[in-house]
Structure 1
């Protein structure tokens, strides 16, 4: 026996965060039926001394529990039945359990008034997402950039040897001690003489020997990694504590290490690697501009619970990252000159935009019939296995056991939608 829908009146009020508040009024004629339902529910759960559970007469149970308990149970039953009726009638699937605001009692000959709040999937209409004419930067790779990368790779493969005798030369790594005029010491400094990080200092320590000291004035440029020294000019005594020098591989050994036949082949490989990375960054930047445009012309209020969950994760990860860098949140806020409330508002807005973006991408995939086949899933798992040097079946079992197939499918669809949006909106720069 369910509630008679002719005895239900309701109106729906839209709330922020993709929520609706349903205000309900139940005709008083439902009260008697609801109290009987309350009895049938309570008698199965309540043990009254002298009676078997489930067989206590209603008058006895009412006296034992009190009218308020019966009325409260009746109201809860009516509220649940009304919710079920409303969801079926309006064809609504809530994103989380509803919040009820119900009274404690239901007086005879009075209508029952209560409300419940539902969080529902947001309905929205996509704004323009084609023909946005976003310019993509033209990717170029210079010979100087190729040389710089090759030099870095050469150094990574080289052996670093200590220099016991001799003097500081270009390319060396030195360990410097720094003493102020008042004899106090600054933290020691590791420094590579590569002509880029601190050329003024390089010029002054070239030719110094291990254990040698020099006193000179130096200006630490704005943005120097030691923030306390950034922009300052100090007179310091500099002592070269240790020197290391790279022992580079001969060309044949180097080519074997990097897996190529000739230096020309390696240069081309480096060129393609730089170009691919630049292309990826260029596409990511263009995609970000495309999504910003779509977000601007699409009204979408993301679900409150999604925003809260993601914002909490963003906040927690950010604080953990700060801790790894030896900073507290208060240190960061002071450095940026913002309050904690401002920071939290920024985090919430960031969470909203991320959710909006994901929902928009899902909607575009739906409208444009962009999907991923089972074969594409299989191929992706094989790529993961190959990249990690592991067995395909082992990776597949891990993904299936962790119920990650749907996550993998969503990621692949997202990449397809990204490619589609780039194709539809990019203008190549001359």
Structure 2
């Protein structure tokens, strides 16, 4: 769920996980006795490694992570992974084959840990000597902590923070600082909380929420004692992100993504497999054109993706620029039924399965609507900090369908941000229940 601004690659972590699983399975085939050589064992092996990694945050390694912290993750990971092997086969049976198991754990650790440290060091060298993988930052403040932070980032090139400018709020107004950040495409703002008032902090928070940037606080000792935020340490300097959500936690992220995969798979196999041909026949009997309607929408981190629906309108040139209104002449008879029952949204379960969307989340809008409201409505872009959903809290509380006035979109954003900051699996289940209930009852704005 993190912004990808300044990241080395969104593919590096999945590649690393795939490599580790390949090593685990390959060495199991080579080193473990025949009693282990079953398909179910390899499924168990892979899932236990992934679940353990989520718990230990094994793959949560950032540019500011210390070597000792990586070592702690490795020890926890292999301790729990070894326990899983014992739990599967029993202590007695594994004790009889302890040499094979010990060799397996030893050699997998050598390869996986070696590659993990190698990538970590190569990225540091890449930042330091080739000036790649950099994040452009500004620092705002006028105290000792600000001075120490500036000294840290300028003397530790391997962290990859390119300091473009530092500002004092005694000399520069927040508007001037924001203008500089926009002009120079700054990725992150580090704001000292010492001698900074609430109005100034709110100004910077509004900017990053509306522009999908990162704001991090440099807290005083008093702030640390009273804060309820996550604290990272750059060297010995505490840094707090301005916005943390439950889905920033790897375990919660894993649970939500796991639920999305299982739920979308059940819908695709159990419903879409027989429903799609029936709807396809009805659509083609009434009008010529494709069965599915594909439209560009903004998703996580404001990235575009193709959102799929069953076609509910006659083919027309305004489909991507004008939303449906009541008694819209473009809507077919079959389409009216599909929209009234929300069946037109069913193909979006494919979007969920491949990872563009979630079952529950802020509803994605057409590109031109997103760009319009991103400028017009405060904090509109903040809803793109998480994946869009087939259904959402706003839709189950009366704000679905046509946007008739600014109040509609403002209330949608309030519900979306509340959902983002209050996420739980139970909340997702409640929203799904309310969505089904509302669809069966019928909704006024389902047109």
Scaled by the length of structure 2, the TM-score of the pair is: 0.18
More strand by share: 1
Scaled by the length of structure 1, the TM-score of the pair is: 0.18
1 or 2 for the larger relative contact order (CA 8 Å, sep ≥6)?
A: 1
More helix by share: 2
